[in-house]
Amino acid sequence: MYAIFLLFASLGFVMAQFHQDTYVIEHDRIEILKFNRSFVRRPDFQVLYFNDTVKMKALNASGYFIAPIQNKVKMEVTVYRFVGGAYRVFPINVTLDGCNENKRNLFGLQSIYQYTNFKGCPVPIGYLYLKYYLIEYEKFPPHVPYGKYKLFMEVHANEGAYFIGNGNWYGSIVPKRKD
| Predicted local confidence at residue 111, as pLDDT | 72
| Predicted local confidence at residue 5, as pLDDT | 36
Phi/psi of residue 101, nearest 5 degrees: -65, -30
Phi/psi of residue 144, nearest 5 degrees: -80, 130
Q: Where are the beta strands (DSSP E) in the chain?
A: 23-35, 40-49, 57-65, 73-83, 86-97, 126-133, 147-157, 162-175
Side chain identity, residue 86: A
Residues shown for the chain? 179
Q: What is the CATH number of the domain that holds 55?
A: 2.70.220
Domain that holds residue 121: 4-175
Cα 169 from chain centroid? 9
The number of folded domains in the chain is: 1
Which residues make beta-bridge pairs with 60? 46
pTM of the model: 0.81
Side chain identity, residue 85: G
What lies within 8 Å, CB to CB, of 104 at 6+ separation is 12, 16
pLDDT tens across the length of the chain (179 residues): 333 333 344 344 444 556 667 888 899 999 999 999 999 999 999 999 887 776 788 999 999 999 988 778 899 999 999 999 999 999 888 888 877 766 665 666 667 788 899 888 888 899 999 999 888 888 778 888 999 999 999 999 987 789 999 999 999 999 988 76
CB–CB of 44/29 below 8 Å?
Answer: no
Burial of 157 (0-12, 13-18, 19+ CB in 10 A): buried
